[in-house]
Structure 1
Amino acid sequence: MKTSKCMNSAIAVLFCFVFAATLNAQTSKKEQQLVDAVDTHLKDALSLLETSVNINSGTMNFEGVQEVGRLYQKELDALGFKTELTSGEAYNRAGHLVASIEGKKGPKIVMIGHLDTVFELDSPFQEFQMRNDSIVEGPGVADMKGGDVIIILAIKALKDAGLLKDMRIKIVMTGDEEKSGNPLALSKKDVIDAAQWADIALGFENGDNNPKTIVVARRGSSDWKLKVKGQPAHSSQVFSEKVGVGAIYETSRILNAFYEQLSEEKDLTFNPGFMLGGTEVSINTDQTGGNAFGKNNVVSQAVEVHGDIRAVSLEQLERAKKTMHAIVAENYPKTSAELIFDEGGYPPLDLTDGNTQLLATYNLVSQDLGFGSIEAVNPRNAGAADISFTSGYVDMAIDGMGLTGGSGDHTVEETANLNRLAEKAKVTAVLLYRLMAKQK
């Protein structure tokens, strides 16, 4: 692969950075070999990142998503993985890249990335550009092509050290993380199948972009609808026994009660994204808005509210749903209301003892390599991600192992810090080695 001129200026600085960090490393001979191997392959990894970022892979650009999949597939084929680009036809998406190598040592590990970005073909944000000698901007450079490249770079180091052939690893890079296909049972089947096989799940999203944090718990996300009905009449009759209060007053009661009873719940959020009300309401087929008709002197007959809810555990989610249903059932006179929760959505990644233990191991590796200590991300700062579909299947899971140090995710200001690429790959490679060595 060719490396652009804008990349060349950064490479020398990056090698100075990674060499200085290596000098402080407290590692075994084999671990030092992994660190050196990452440095050996760093230039190619930077070129791979640039190439993949310059391929538009907005979720609905199926051809572009598949092209990125083929690019990474070629890398993993060369490393000895059995690879497959799966079809996403059944859930109207591009499909996923699934790769596996099944040795006989250590725990079974699934490494999770994704091929797609939020930037479709009509986005003005399409190119990899160096802002200075370390900060790069580009569509998906952090979320999460940087994380995908970290996976490949760490795997190359393990192969150079003669360790890969003995390991048991599955890699799943989905093609629809940013805009999931429907139904989720098919869209996320490859992730769930890998989780059912695995003991440990490692996610390579960029977390909260802080290189000193790792995700041990993620909040799930699902949608809800509130449909409220009232008795239409002339406004002069509002509050009467025959007419009641109308749909809009009932809706305001419900939403206010949601706020009063649940807004102080730690790590729980529920947001009404849009609301339409009046005499008649119609919702667009894509569920992103609609139309309402009404008059100032008519008591409202219908209201519809669409929102989402995010909880840090299934227990918290079910408790919140129960409270919300109870609020909805206490109707004002001559009104009725129905609260509907989407049964799909992303589940929470529950905080478990295993996740905390895995963070402790990751933290020790980071310190031993001279990169400093790592702590857990506040779940409020970590959105939903594909690793959440491993919850309940694996013994241990962490996320946020991707390319950090930037900002502006999901905007045309998305950046990442290339100094972190080798650092994260080194920690990943040594972590995988220690997990294998621990269970020999």
Structure 2
Amino acid sequence: MKKLLLAAAIVCSHAALAQKLTATERKIVASVQQNMPQSEKLLEQVVNINSGTLNVKGVREVGTVFQKEFDAIGFKTEWVSMPETMQRAGHLVAQRKGKKGKKLFLIGHLDTVFELDMPFTKFTRLNDSTATGQGVNDMKGGNVVILAALQALHANGLMKDANITAYFTGDEERGGKGPESRADFIARAKQAEVALAFETATNLHTVATARRGSSTWLLKTYGTAAHSSGVFKPAVGDGAIYEAARILNSFRETLSQEQYLTFNPGLMVGGSEVSYDEAKARGEVVGKTNIIAPGATVTGDLRFLTETQKEAAREKMRAIVVQSLNKTRAEITFTDGLPGMAPTPGNQKLAALADQVSRDLGYGAVAAGDPGSRGGGDISYVAQYVDCLDGLGVSGKGAHAAGETINLKEFPLLVQRAALMIYRLTL
């Protein structure tokens, strides 16, 4: 009896809160709910196509599925190809031009981290609230949220004069080398006023007003090759491996407590003969215990919230590198990757919109999450040009790992929230 009373109270509460929605908005919500079986079927279809970044054919196949869906609701679609030497599939763009409301730029990506040589996991319902499958939340689920929200608006004739560009990149997980990879993406975003990205939602109540950027660094240290019995002696010195160890530990001691800043040495090789293949992220080394290593190589990443934080960290790292041990020397080089998406008043305003829509739907408050809990994303490329919000996709667990899941209970709620956010922005 208590359970029935509680359920009735929840229904009444949601009904009361839903009164904050306009008649049109209630129709949008109804359309989302009515179409959810088809939305889940679409998600299953695209999850069951391997689209690891390097599987160009698979990425294009997933893109073709979405392209047909966008065509059906009146979007003009095209495929932005990349140079053949880049070995990437390119990007799907769907666009409607109009003069009403904000110019919106909706961001998804077609690729996953699961390449063809990895074990394949199809879409599988585990129970009534959970399903698993490759890319089910990162981010094929997010792509479906975008499409399902737009389908609900189309079903109610609400996109006739909207200005919306949906941009699904084909290499978010392993970006192609060179400026061409994101040139068109950035150019089109600059024409918009608001960018909404549908990467995985932490949960129903959290969005991202900021994301950390990422870059890489390469450290090389050099010492004098000699018999190990002479290590530390003035004429021989400490060797390349000790020099690398000194630098890495100094990085940790000097910089590890700074908020939102992380740096991780992901690969290290050192010995008598060292080779490092950057393209394959592979190192080979030859060495003996009784030979002081003349060479060592370490590569890692650097993550940061703002460009100012990135540059300040690099200066501190360079200062540590030049303080060499006896008879050693070192050099470090940095390579830019994703810029940071800094929190801005405009981004916070979008978070406030998500919060209001969620409350109006009866789903509770929404707040900005911790930027340190997220990696980089495509939205960071355009954050300096437009107001941005991310984390609007589906919720789930285990992204980038076997057993990745989607929360099917929150799936329709997140589509409803996205649909009403887009609707209100296009008024």
TM-score by length of 1: 0.91
Correspondence 1:221-240 to 2 at 5 A = 221-240=214-233
Residue aligning to 1:353: 345
Deviations 1:342-393 (A, max 9, x none): 13x1111111111111101111110111111111121121111111111211
**1:435 aligned residue:** 425
Instruction: Name the SS of the counterpart of 1:371 in structure 2.
Output: coil
Matched, 1:373 2:368: no
Q: Are the structure 2 counterparts of residues 82 and 222 from structure 1 closer, same or farther at C-alpha, using a change threshold of 3 Å?
A: same
Structure 1 range deviating more: 378-387 or 118-127: 118-127
Asked if the contact 1:154/1:425 (under 8 Å) is kept, the reply is: yes
Whether the aligned pair in 1 keeps the contact of 2:208 and 2:368 (CA below 8 Å) is yes
Alpha-carbon contact 1:18-1:423 (below 8 Å) kept: no
- Matched letter for residue 342 of structure 1: T
Superposition deviation, residue 287 in structure 1: 4.2
Distance 1:21 1:57, change over 3 A: farther
Q: Is the 8 A contact 1:18 1:422 kept in 2?
A: no
Match of 1:386 in 2: 378
Alignment-derived partner of residue 294 in structure 1: 287
Kindly report which structure 2 residues correspond to 1:21-40, keeping only aligned pairs within 5 A, or say none.
24-25=17-18, 26-40=20-34
The number of aligned residues is: 416
**What residue in structure 2 maps to residue 242 of structure 1?**
235
Residue in 2 aligned with 1:69?
63
Residue equivalent to 2:398: 408
Q: Distance in 1 between matches of 2:254 and 2:124?
A: 48
Whether the 8 Å CA contact 2:306–2:342 is kept in 1: the answer is yes
Does 1:108 pair with 2:103? yes
Q: Deviations over 1:10-32 (max 9, x none)?
A: xxxxxxx9999566412112211
Q: What are the within-5 Å matches in structure 2 for residues 38-187 of structure 1?
A: 38-90=32-84, 91-183=86-178, 185-187=179-181
- TM-superposed CA distance for 1:398, in Å, is 0.8
Question: How far apart in 2 are the matches of 1:23 and 1:408?
Answer: 36
What is the distance in 2 between the residues matched to 1:18 and 1:97? Answer: 40
Q: Which amino acid in the other structure matches residue 416 of structure 1?
A: I
Are the equivalent residues in 2 in contact too, given 1:230–1:302 (CA < 8 A)?
A: yes
- The 1:326–1:376 alpha-carbon spacing in structure 2 relative to 1, beyond 3 Å, is same
Counterpart code for 2:308: E
Cα displacement string for residues 63-99 of structure 1 (whole angstroms, at most 9, x for unaligned residues) = 1111111111111111111100222334210111001
Note the C-alpha offset of 1:116. Answer: 1.0
* Alpha carbons 2:56, 2:87 under 8 Å: kept: no
| Residue identity matched to 1:433 | Y
CA distance in 2, matches of 1:333, 1:245: 6
* Identity level (%): 47
Given candidates 184, 188, 196, the residue that maps to 1:202 is 196
TM-score (norm 2): 0.93
Q: Distance in 1 between matches of 2:158 and 2:35?
A: 16
Q: Deviations over 1:117-162 (max 9, x none)?
A: 1122233233111001121111111111111111111111111222
Comparing 155-164 with 133-142, greater Cα deviation is found at 155-164
Are 1:312 and 2:305 an aligned pair?
yes
Give the conservation status (yes or no) of the 8 Å contact 2:78–2:92.
Answer: yes
Residue of structure 2 in register with 1:268 after alignment: 261
Distance change >3 Å, CA 328–CA 18, structure 1 → 2? farther
For the Cα contact (< 8 Å) 2:107–2:167, is it kept in 1?
yes
Structure 1 unaligned residues grouped into runs of 5+:
1-16
> Which position in structure 2 is the counterpart of 1:422?
412
- Letter of the 2:124 counterpart: Q
- Aligned mate of 2:388, from 390, 393, 397: 397
Write the letter of the residue equivalent to 2:58: G
SS in structure 1 of the partner of residue 27 of structure 2 = helix
Aligned to 2:356: 364
Secondary structure class of the residue paired with 2:293: coil
Q: Counterpart amino acid of 1:367?
A: R
Whether the aligned pair in 2 keeps the contact of 1:18 and 1:39 (CA below 8 Å) is no
With over 3 angstroms needed to count, the CA separation of the structure-2 counterparts of 1:276 and 1:366, relative to structure 1, is: same
Distance 2:271 2:241 in 1: 8
Structure 2 spans left out of the alignment, 5+ residues: 1-9
Higher mean alpha-carbon deviation, 31-40 vs 139-148, is at 31-40
Match in the other structure for 2:247: 254
Structure 2 residue identity aligned to 1:431: M
- Of 368-377 and 286-295, deviating more is 286-295
Q: Structure 1 residues 214, 285: CA separation in 2 closer, same or farther (over 3 Å shift)? A: closer
